[in-house]
Amino acid sequence: MAEIDRKLLLDCALCPNMCRCECPVDQALGKEAVSPTGKARFAHMMLEGQLPWSEEFVEAVYSCVGCKGCETLCPFEGLELAEELRLVRLEAARQGVTLNSVQPYLSNLKKYGSPYGSRAPLSEEARGSKGAEVLVFAGCTTVANNPASLEAILALLDRAGVSYQMVEEYCCGYPADLWGDPELARQLAKENVRLFADSGARKLITNCPECWLTFKRRYPEWEQELPLEVVDGTAFLLELVREGRLKPAKVEGLEKVAYHDPCVWARYEERTEVPRELLASIPGLKLEEAAAAGKATRCCGGGQMFQLASPAGSEAIARRRLAEFPAGMPIVTDCPFCREGLKVEGAEVLELVELLQRACCGGSGR
Ligand code: SF4
Ligand code: SF4
């Protein structure tokens, strides 16, 4: 497992903190303690034994949405503050401190394999064709908060003639790792790898960028070898449009949308053109960009499951982000956390797959 880079963390703790203007948590909460330097200082002092490992200080270390905003202005090469803070949270858990607010979700993970609790078994339709090459991985947040987006992707695959299957998946492990239980994360990953191997599928598609990143980045760290290729769901659908297997038509009554770039896609992967090409494929639809778009995106408040760890903090970030969008049109995004995060103040937010379903299948049907 990676180790905390104490030297870089100290550099950050002593830095003038100029990047705070790009830290959505700092900007929304206006507290020195949750500025990038503030978090690094608490982390450094707890590690050095100058402060106790208490919930009060650990809460500051949890106040990071993993957006990489600070990195856009950071002079220290190799410093990924969100990653250092993640490692400090793992150390906090070893010291017996985990945030109280996440405890119920951790219990659910242990009991049901999902942070949101038990879930209904898959329907026959969702199970698809046993042995199909493509396996759809929904992700816990989609299943719990927006099953319509899962139905949309299945409908689009049907429409394009792509045979798929689903399995009774477990959480990818991301929240357990975020909240300081790497053993649980590894266990969940192991169960998933077993299910994927048994399925015989060769390609996994997911519309959740956090699941995608977990498969790509964490599974190798957890020594879990995936038996299939992991593919970004939006990119997969764009290929189907390019091949002419999906044919978007005008969506009646919808002329303009705004698009919110999820941090994982825009900042970690620098993938910003895929959703724009997909939106451009819908006849008669105009994209109006947000004030901060593409790689300059800002977090919706849902990064690193901040909605669950700190609902009020997450909402404060979302309100600031919403003010950056043009008024009077829906906001489209391709992340279940962003959709959930931005749904404050009556904002109309939908996932790209839902819009594509309307364009390709008409209404909400198949
Ligand atoms: S992330 Fe970089 S720029 Fe921001 S406070 Fe830390 S060292 Fe300074
Ligand atoms: S990753 Fe984002 S939330 Fe975390 S410290 Fe940097 S700017 Fe703030």
- Please name the residue that has the structure tokens 């990195």: 71
Task: Give distance in angstroms: CA of 66 to centre of ligand 2.
Answer: 5
In 86-209, the DSSP E strands lie at 134-137, 164-165, 203-206
Query: Counting ligands in written order, which one lies closest to the CA of residue 27?
Result: 2
The pLDDT tens digits for 193-217 are 999 999 999 999 999 999 999 999 9
Distance between start and end Cα atoms, the chain: 45
Q: Which of 10, 22, 26, 74 to mutate to test the pocket of ligand 1 (most atoms within 8 A of CB)?
A: 74
The pLDDT tens digits for 18-50 are 999 999 999 999 999 999 999 999 999 999 999
DSSP 8-state secondary structure symbol assigned to residue 128 = B
**Chain CA centroid to CA 52, Å:** 31
Task: Give distance in angstroms: CA of 75 to centre of ligand 1.
Answer: 7
Task: Give distance in angstroms: CA of 36 to centre of ligand 2.
Answer: 6
Task: Give distance in angstroms: CA of 216 to centre of ligand 1.
Answer: 26
Helix H, strand E, coil C: the string for 272-296 is CHHHHHHHHCCCCCEEECCCCCHHH
The pLDDT tens digits for 115-166 are 999 988 999 989 999 999 999 999 999 999 999 999 999 999 999 999 999 9
Can you give the pLDDT at residue 14?
97
C-alpha to C-alpha distance for 52 and 63, rounded to whole angstroms:
18
Three-state DSSP state, 229: strand
C-alpha to C-alpha distance for 211 and 268, rounded to whole angstroms:
13
Task: Give distance in angstroms: CA of 263 to centre of ligand 1.
Answer: 18
Look at strands 164-165 and 229-232 and give their pairing: unpaired
Using CA of residue 261, residue 207, residue 120, residue 103, what is the dihedral sign?
A: negative
Task: Give distance in angstroms: CA of 98 to centre of ligand 1.
Answer: 25
C-alpha to C-alpha distance for 105 and 326, rounded to whole angstroms:
35
Burial class (CB in 10 A: 0-12, 13-18, 19+), 16: exposed
Domains of the chain by residue range: 6-97, 124-241, 247-361
For ligand 2, atom 3, which residue shows the shortest CA distance?
Answer: 64
Amino acid at 222: W
Q: Is 66 in the pocket of ligand 2 (CB under 6 A)?
A: yes
C-alpha to C-alpha distance for 132 and 258, rounded to whole angstroms:
35
The pLDDT tens digits for 307-337 are 999 999 999 999 999 999 999 999 999 999 9
For ligand 1, atom 4, which residue shows the shortest CA distance?
Answer: 19
pLDDT of residue 303 exceeding 90, the answer is: yes
- Average pLDDT rounded to a whole number, residues 237-265: 97
What is the atom index within ligand 2 of the atom nearest the CA of 65?
Answer: 3
Task: Give distance in angstroms: CA of 38 to centre of ligand 1.
Answer: 10
pLDDT of residue 346 exceeding 90, the answer is: no
Query: Counting ligands in written order, which one lies closest to the CA of residue 67?
Result: 2
**Consecutive H or E run containing 25:** helix 24-29
C-alpha to C-alpha distance for 342 and 57, rounded to whole angstroms:
28
Are 154 and 356 within 8 A, CB to CB?
A: no
For ligand 2, atom 7, which residue shows the shortest CA distance?
Answer: 23
Pocket, ligand 1, Cβ cutoff 6 A: 11-12, 15, 17-19, 36-37, 40, 70, 73-74, 76, 79, 81
What is the atom index within ligand 1 of the atom nearest the CA of 8?
Answer: 7
- Average pLDDT rounded to a whole number, residues 254-272: 97
Q: Which residues contact 33 (CB under 8 A, 6 or more apart)?
A: 39, 42, 60, 63
Q: What is the pTM of this model?
A: 0.95
C-alpha to C-alpha distance for 364 and 155, rounded to whole angstroms:
9
Task: Give distance in angstroms: CA of 258 to centre of ligand 2.
Answer: 24
- Average pLDDT rounded to a whole number, residues 169-178: 97
pLDDT of residue 4 exceeding 60, the answer is: yes
124-241: CATH topology is: Rossmann fold (3.40.50)
φ, ψ (nearest 5 deg) of residue 284:
75, 10
For ligand 2, atom 8, which residue shows the shortest CA distance?
Answer: 23
For ligand 2, atom 2, which residue shows the shortest CA distance?
Answer: 67
